[in-house]
Amino acid sequence: MTTFGVLQIVLYLVVLILLVKPLGAFMARVFQRERTILDPILRPVERVIYRLCGVTPDQEMDWKQYAFAVLAFNFLGLAAVYVIQRVQGFLPLNPTGLDAISPDSAWNTAVSFATNTNWQNYSGETTLSYFTQMCALTVQNFLSAATSMAMLAAIIRGFARSGDNAQTLGNFWFDLTRATLFVLMPLSIVLAFALVSQGVVQTFDSYITAPLVQATRDANGNPVTEQVIAVGPAASQIAIKQLGTNGGGFFNVNSAHPFENPTPFSNFLEMLAILLIPASLCYTFGKMVGDTRQGWALFAAMLIIFVALLTIAVWAESVPNPALSKLGIDQTASENQDGGNMEGKEIRFGIVNSALWATATTAASNGSVNSMHDSYLPLGGMVALIMMQLGEVIFGGVGSGLYGMFALVIVAVFIAGLMVGRTPEYLGKKIEAYEMKMASLAILIMPLIVLGFTAIALSLDVGRATILNPGAHGFSQVLYAFSSMGNNNGSAFAGLGVNTPFYNVLGGLAMLISRYWLSIPMLALAGSLARKKTIPPSAGTLPTHTPLFIGWLVAIVIIVAALNFIPALALGPIVEQLMLK
């Protein structure tokens, strides 16, 4: 790695860290009904929304009512996205006259965007109309992200509230509205304007036809003299896809496309947006529980793992590709080239920015890409796999990453309590059998889905039929696909044909189960904690804000993932790396 590459990473991390406290404090004020700088503009709008929807924001819900509201709202959104795709041909803003989406693909996409996964098995510019992109996908980008933030706010209240009268976790409709109106929309508007200034397209005009400099012929031998250039209202969708850790691209190649990500500055802004809200929510947690040290401790644990795996990814991609070295191709860094493994990467961004994006997008359940992960060398691709298989808790999705980390925190304090012979506690709340059961469900369901569905796909002819690469790499592609869908990430290795009824249906089930089998147990855990009285710290209380606990939490995160996935990784990227010569 060059000095300039190190400086790029340092700049990214410094800017991210500097923004954590102000944005985190602002979001805490939003969810705690405190006055914010946006109140004079947005509070009247908020009151109108409540009045139109018949919502009483002061009417709080217990965890079961909150969970029911989440499920009902999300499944209504899923149905709406499905219907819009199926009747796309009859709807406006369809300048190229695109037809309806097939039932299995529409199902997969509807589940994908309702669950904040944004897994895509289609090419956006040749499959979806402007209306579908905006009114189905972009709307769900906001609402699925806001749903996760709302659930996080409810779960934090479970830690913060105490006593026999603390039966409720807040109001879902209030949290959803505040997350959308006060956080996601303002940030998205600012980012969208910044991206437009860099050349990201935002238009309702029809696709552009341009003459080719040199005529060519198509597969049937017919002359081709023109190229159709896809455009559309992209900047508005890209802003929320990054900020909401959605990741679904307007164009097929996502943020490697010059109309989605045209300059180094737009690349920096989009990468920053991936981790901005998830990282800042750590500080929000600290503010809402009355001890910011707790938030910083979780942030530090996430950052340590992120930097460690980022270092491996950059190093792995900075070495020459052995397959190209055999051909005598010069892959050393010089004034004319970056050196290392540039296959599948944009020359505009180079290895460092590509590896940084790949690590951030798989850490944050974002799934957007500015390079093709399938072209990474085995260890580089393994970093992306591990980031997802950790459970998307290293920053993770907006809201979902942090409450996923809470499950591992519960395990960490439980094991530590057993080691010293004391009842485990976290933030003054005793961790007992019920909390451990809920945390265990949240942790174990994901690997069962990922590994189980991978095994199903590999054991059936219909699953193996669309694997385009043989051997270890083909195994990695299937494992990556279900790791991505099973962790609501949405990125993919290429080389696996997934737009088939088998993968569409099975993938949709993976996304649904993994999303709600994490969130519902965590809401149940929060409901249990809210009813418990806070115990004052004593000499035997394990401090959960110290470097010792941060190191212990890092170890728990890595050990849990290692126990679940190392055997599968050994069959894929590890053996593939050993086969390189």
pLDDT of the chain along its 581 residues, tens only? 678 889 999 999 999 999 999 999 999 999 999 999 999 999 999 999 999 999 999 999 999 999 999 999 999 999 999 999 999 999 999 999 999 999 999 999 999 999 999 999 888 899 999 999 999 999 999 999 999 999 999 999 999 988 655 789 999 999 999 999 999 999 999 999 999 999 999 999 999 999 998 989 888 888 999 999 999 999 999 999 999 999 888 998 999 999 999 999 999 999 999 999 999 999 999 999 999 999 999 999 999 999 999 999 999 999 888 888 888 887 777 777 777 888 899 888 999 999 999 999 999 999 999 999 999 999 999 999 999 999 999 999 999 999 999 999 999 999 998 887 788 899 999 999 999 999 999 999 999 999 999 999 999 999 999 998 888 999 999 999 999 999 999 999 888 999 999 999 999 999 999 999 889 999 999 999 999 988 888 777 889 999 999 999 999 999 998 889 999 999 999 999 988 86
DSSP 8-state symbol, 202: B
Among 316, 322, 472, residue whose Cα is nearest residue 383: 316
Amino acid (one-letter) located at 331: Q
Among 552, 4, 38, 28, residue whose Cα is nearest residue 287: 28
Overall domain count for the chain? 1
Q: What angle do CA 523, 527, 532 make, to 5 degrees?
A: 145
Contact 46, 181 (CB under 8 A): yes
Among 468, 474, 463, 461, residue whose Cα is nearest residue 500: 463
Tokens standing for 131? 């209306």
- Helix 63-86, helix 139-160: angle, nearest 10: 170
* Whole-number Å distance between alpha carbons of 427 and 542: 10
Which residues, 6 or more positions from 23, have their beta carbon under 8 angstroms from its beta carbon?
A: 276, 277, 280, 283
Domain interval for residue 440 = 3-579
Contact 370, 255 (CB under 8 A): yes
Which residues, 6 or more positions from 178, have their beta carbon under 8 angstroms from its beta carbon?
A: 30, 31, 46
Q: What angle do CA 367, 368, 373 make, to 5 degrees?
A: 80
Amino acid (one-letter) located at 454: T
Q: What is the pTM of this model?
A: 0.95
* Whole-number Å distance between alpha carbons of 515 and 518: 6
* Phi, psi angles (nearest 5°) of residue 371: -155, 165
pLDDT score of 165 = 58
pLDDT score of 494 = 80
Among 411, 399, 388, 440, residue whose Cα is nearest residue 70: 399
Which uninterrupted H or E stretch holds 217? strand 208-217
Residue written as tokens 């969130």? 519
* Whole-number Å distance between alpha carbons of 230 and 276: 30
Amino acid (one-letter) located at 374: D
Which residues, 6 or more positions from 10, have their beta carbon under 8 angstroms from its beta carbon?
A: none
The separation between CA 420 and the C-alpha centre of its own chain, rounded to angstroms, equals 37
pLDDT score of 164 = 58
pLDDT score of 138 = 95
